[in-house]
A and B are shown apart, each in its own frame.
Chain A
Amino acid sequence: MAISLKLNGQTHNVEAEPGTPLLWVIRDELKLTGTKFGCGVASCGACTVHLNGEPVRSCQTYIEDIEDAEITTIEVMDQDKVGAAVQQAWLELDVVQCGYCQSGQIMSAVGLLRENAKPTAEEVDEYMYGNACRCATYQRIRDGVLRASEILEA
């Protein structure tokens, strides 16, 4: 089926079978590879993107369900006030190790801070629970979200 996809402020016309996860349209068709494949079952969060500003797992978001939605990926997060603050905090604290999960971590962190500008450490843990990091950078992810909150407040 032909799909008109609004992604990162642009409209893309793509051809995809119904049932195709958004993840693979983003990665294989639009060649935006910042969004990662980790598990395919919404269990790791590496594929997190924003759908109308809210974090969703793109591996479980199907192409036929999102025709009118605004999709945002990590590639344009620097243009977002919250996104830029999270990226700055991530750089200050050198949160990343292998980095493969970090696009998804950042997309989730932005979702959290939009919802709750001053989260506690416990609230960070609760919100970020579904984003796995096999390098276990969790300490810095938690600190990074709290630091981004400070940056936004300043």
Chain B
Amino acid sequence: MTATLSRRGFLKSAAAAGAVLYVGTNARGAIAAADTADAMLNPFVKIDSNGNVIAIVKHFEKGQGPATGLTSLIAEELGVTMDQIDYEFAPSNPNVYNNTLFGPFQGTGGSTAIANSWVQYRTAGANAREMLIKAAADAWGVDASTLDIQEGVIAGSGKSAPLGEFVAAAAAIAPSETPRLRDPSEWKIIGNEATRRKDSPIKVNGAAKFAMDVHLDNQMVVMIKRTPQRGGTVASFDDSAAKDITGFIMAQALPTGHGVAVYAENTWAAMQAREALEVEWDLSAAETRSSQEIRDEVLTALQQAPVYNVNKADQAAVTAAVDDADTIVEKTFYFPLLAHAPMEPLNCTIEQTADGDIVLHDGAQMPTGPHMAFQQIFELPAEKIHIKTMLAGGSFGRRATPDADYQVEAGLAFVMTDRTRPVKLVWDREDDIRGGYYRPAAGHKVRVGLDSDGSIVGWEHQIAGQSIMKGTAFEAMLVKDGIDHSTVEGVTENPYMIPGMSIGLTDTEKATSVLWWRSVGHTHTAYVMEVMMDMAASAAGKDPVEFRLAYLSGDKDQQRKAAVLKLAAEKGNWGKPADGNVQGIAVHKSFGSYVAEVVEISGNLDDGIQIEKVTAAVDCGIAVNPDVIKAQIEGGIGYGIGHAMRDQITLADGAVEQSNFPDYEPLRISDIKAIETHIVASTEAPTGIGEPGTPPSAPALANAIAMLDLRVAELPMTENGVYFV
């Protein structure tokens, strides 16, 4: 079979043997085909003649739901039930499986999995449906418009057949450029609360394979002894004690100098041998600052004029408006470094095939990153490198670093061998907690002026912190006029109609490696915006919900934010807490979605606080998988609140002080007694859900605690006057 090309659209083909129908795009959005499954140009949906349907999922699954979500989009359009479709993760190919919101880059992040696939995956499913229907219509001699596919059966005009029967014939039909997408009235899966996760069954019986579960024949396990202070390098090492460990193979310094790779027959041997390894470090160029110095630098920057005028405001006029106001509400905030600490410590496995190709087995959040890095490390063209995406045990951003940090470590550890044995790089929890790439420390200083009616007349907002994007491959895309958007997002583009707002930014010096962390800049900007709104409401003598609504009465963006605020207040019994309890509320838009949360707490500052209930309302556009959305809100709340309660990464003389869960304590089951989520019905295109639940959670808790007369402006709360039961 020869390639059939058209200008744009989708690809179809049949493997002559096995009759498999593929639908997907190729490099330039063109239609292409080939005659074996292996040569196919990366489909989104694959159907064989037995009627087995497989959705090819371009986003990795870290629990946030794309294995279910993207599969739902295909199943809905094609006309199969969720039980009649399976999924596979896509190979690494940014020309085909790119994130349509990222450009020519394959990756998961920014809560975009459903948003960027919404049209693409439905179109792929619809195209497969139309081709199968056309094949059946031709065979039956009936009008294609009389046929549909439901529950895997092509039927109409008195005829019916399972869809597998027409796979071979359908593969010979040119796909439509613009297939008909099903009307929402036809949807059976999208929006259905009863749709179950596709990955649940294998995750309750131990069958699920995470990257950590990869075990290749003859593999070596590598652990790396890393410099205790960023910038330190290996001066020398002594592995004589390691040689006494059964299973130890060898130790070699990485060419980067930041650590020594210890190779062993298994994980336990690698752990013990690394422990036995003695390394002399050259710390002459290493980081020596403490967290106190980082904090001082941030707070000092806030006392000075900002370097960047983020919103091009007339800063002097805003300052004058605040100065002249009847009441000035003022607060300075500080947020510490945070680790992501996904449940599955970082790891990946590399092997070389008989053809000299390199295969990476990885919970790959951004396959294009390691794919590009490996081209350099192994001096191979892109097509000789393959990435097999495994399930990921969480990420929260950590598995996506602009420099592919852990995959590069594994690549270097492998390239230094004769490549006859696969290398599995394993981090332990200590490596994870101490491994850098933290949510940057950040500070805000805000002054809000209120007139005699309690209305805002000026809002002066300064932010200082270490830029995430500067110095990375993402700088060109995400830093404009020197302003790293990820440091200010959430203060900027906030739907509140605030008159006279100035936003200033000062970057602080690089003290450690930093990274996006579930909801990125919104982790601190939402806290500040929502605590300040609460303080302003209090100063104005107004109800916090009513006060906020006064600034949300304009366009659709504001109305959507207002709607979730009102819904959360209603469902959370706002203003009517149980006896002895107090409440706080916060609302924030991030990643295109709107979330409001009411936190109700019991207890007091002396005896301790218990979070009794969090009630959330979310508008993320069309709710593709409502139960997954609720789960993401539940998880987002827990992630935000857990860290705000008691977590921080601190440095002493440049070295991280925390090491494992005992001193970077996760949220525990008893910390939040109940969470309830309500979804706003919407006809808008789907927006993010993995992250938006996190931003309002900590400020809603802080606003509840403020009812006990403690305004927490520095995190974590446990270090700033709050005791939790």
Contact = CB atoms under 8 A, between A and B. Distances in A.
Contacts of B51: none
Given A40-B429, A41-B662, A135-B635, A100 B205 contact: no
A140 to B, nearest CB: 7
Contact of B213 (A20, A33, A43, A128): A33
A150 B249 CA distance: 52
Interface string A24-36: 1001110111111
B328 interface: no
Interface in B636-658: 637-639, 642
A89 to B, nearest CB: 9
B661 A31 contact: no
Nearest to B663: A43
Contacts of A98: 61-63, 342-344, 391-394
A71 to B, nearest CB: 14
B341 interface: yes
Contacts of A28: 215, 221, 266-268
B634 A137 contact: yes
Contacts of A69: none
Contact of A138 (B197, B204, B209, B638): B638
Contacts of A33: 206, 209-210, 212-213, 215
Contact of B63 (A43, A135, A139): A135
A73 interface: yes
B204 A96 contact: yes
B669 A128 contact: yes
Interface of B, secondary structure class, is loop
B682 interface: no
A28 to B, nearest CB: 4
A126 interface: yes
Contacts of B342: 98, 100, 134
Contact of A96 (B203, B345, B429): B203
A44 interface: yes
Interface in A14-66: 17, 20-21, 24, 27-29, 31-41, 43-44, 46
A149 interface: no
Contacts of A99: 63, 199, 202-203, 208, 391, 393
Contacts of A146: none
B556 interface: no
A90 B661 contact: no
B437 interface: no
B205 A96 contact: no
Contacts of B206: 32-35, 73-75, 77, 103
A68 interface: no
Interface in A70-125: 73-75, 77-78, 87, 90-91, 94-103, 106, 121, 124-125
A49 B205 CA distance: 13
Contacts of A94: 196-197, 200, 627-628, 631
Contact of A91 (B196, B246, B267): B196
A5 interface: no
B592 interface: no
Nearest to A21: B268
Given A32-B206, A90-B200, A132-B668, A97 B396 contact: no
Contacts of B343: 36, 38, 44, 46, 98, 100-101, 132-135
A6 interface: no
Contacts of B642: 136
A94 B192 CA distance: 14
B669 A75 contact: no
Q: Which 10 A-B pairs have the closest CB atoms?
A: A34-B206, A136-B638, A100-B393, A97-B63, A98-B63, A99-B203, A33-B213, A74-B206, A125-B670, A24-B268
Interface of B: 61-65, 196-197, 199-210, 212-213, 215, 221, 246, 266-268, 271, 341-345, 391-394, 396, 428-429, 627-628, 631-632, 634-635, 637-639, 642, 660-662, 666-675
